A and B are shown apart, each in its own frame.
Chain A
């Protein structure tokens, strides 16, 4: 059992990161999105600083939206989903592994990159690790929501448009909690309450996302 899980984990990581280019592309997408804000808001650093929580979270949300196709694109074309369905592991565990690998290949580069981003946005450095932690909670939630959306639209026409329409309303609570804890951090406070709320939404998603995703995959395979 453990062997299957670990080999599935490595396979998933390899598929989602064919080479070093893939995490670099994620970072490139994030940085190019980040470039839009100083240009549209003007270079004044005060304005940028007050908008920085919104900038950080909007950029990470859009980066995750662009990376949604990573979930199933290779699986569908190679008939891998049928094999997953027949394997001895329950489908919901496989879904969790997939979401975790997606987070490692999209969310982890962002968080490693985050100190650099904070320099771009003139953020204070003292509570940086807390912002990183709330980003970790939020981006993992994005992955769990994303895999639900991606599984629901497998086989649909114009799936990449519809997936955005169904994912964004689901991410709104996470954005709200994440942005408010980032705001607290910027004011130099430790955001216990919003971090708890973020943990709550993450654990809620950990419970429902595998169920919904695996039933969506079963619908596709029928």
Chain B
């Protein structure tokens, strides 16, 4: 299955077929989700309309964690089987993931200003999201740090794998550090049962974000593939 899909020209064919569908789906879902989130969902009793930030914040947080997971899986495939497509995919995932974790931080702090009264708290969740963002930055920096671009792929893949081991440790140690030193802060963990009127737009937005992510990753990997083809033809002297 993976071998079948991993052929670059076949990847091109399949994804070219998928692209218009994904594009249409993500646009429709985003429009429906935004409509529901902004107009057709109730205000929160305490938070008022500020709760609507959640419909952007929570999907992007899930997406950034999902994209790091995907990045480390692709890196693992690249380290073990050395298939160039895995490298291209992880190179295209990293900036998108970085942007979504940045979006999570930004929307979170916009929400935090009226709710918590501060833009930023050194709380477990916020800190681990910031660390995730720095991991993405490190991956991007390392993978583009070499004279010949492809030379950076394998060190960066190693870094992504090491980072994925480190991520749960960071999460737990920060949690632990937090309970030791800081007074309990307002963390909205799961277990809060969301009403259906809020859950539906949230799920729609999450789907829309994930489809958008897949779309952007496919587009980026197409451009990287074409760039590499061009580079190799140039090296061979055919252009």
Contact = CB atoms under 8 A, between A and B. Distances in A.
A155 B146 CA distance: 7
B195 interface: no
Given A152-B158, A219-B155, 10 more contacts: A148-B162, A155-B146, A157-B147, A161-B141, A165-B134, A168-B134, A169-B134, A176-B177, A215-B79, A219-B158
A177 B173 contact: yes
Nearest to A180: B180
A29 interface: no
B142 interface: yes
Which of under 10, 10 to 19, 20 to 34, or 35 or more describes the interface residues of B?
20 to 34
A172 interface: yes
A195 to B, nearest CB: 14
Interface of A: 148, 152-153, 155-159, 161-162, 165-166, 168-170, 172-173, 176-177, 180, 197, 201, 208, 212, 215-216, 219
Contacts of A168: 134
B142 to A, nearest CB: 6
Contacts of A165: 134, 137-138, 141
A152 B159 CA distance: 8
Interface majority SS (helix, strand, loop, mixed), chain B: helix
Interface stretch (B32-40, B163-171, B199-207): B163-171
Interface in B190-210: none
Interface string B151-192: 110110011001101100110011011001100000000000
B163 to A, nearest CB: 7
29 contacts: A152-B158, A152-B159, A153-B142, A153-B145, A153-B155, A155-B146, A155-B151, A156-B142, A156-B145, A157-B146, A157-B147, A162-B141, A162-B142, A165-B134, A165-B137, A166-B142, A168-B134, A169-B134, A169-B170, A170-B162, A170-B163, A172-B170, A180-B181, A197-B173, A201-B169, A212-B162, A216-B158, A219-B154, A219-B158
Nearest to A158: B145
A176 B135 contact: no
Contacts of B181: 180
Given A166-B138, A219-B154, A176 B173 contact: yes
A64 B180 CA distance: 27
A141 to B, nearest CB: 12
B131 interface: yes
A103 B89 CA distance: 38
- Closest 4 A/B residue pairs (Cβ): A156-B145, A166-B138, A173-B173, A152-B155
B152 to A, nearest CB: 7
B222 to A, nearest CB: 27
Contact of A208 (B135, B154, B162): B162
Contacts of B177: 176, 180
Contacts of A201: 169
A215 B169 contact: no
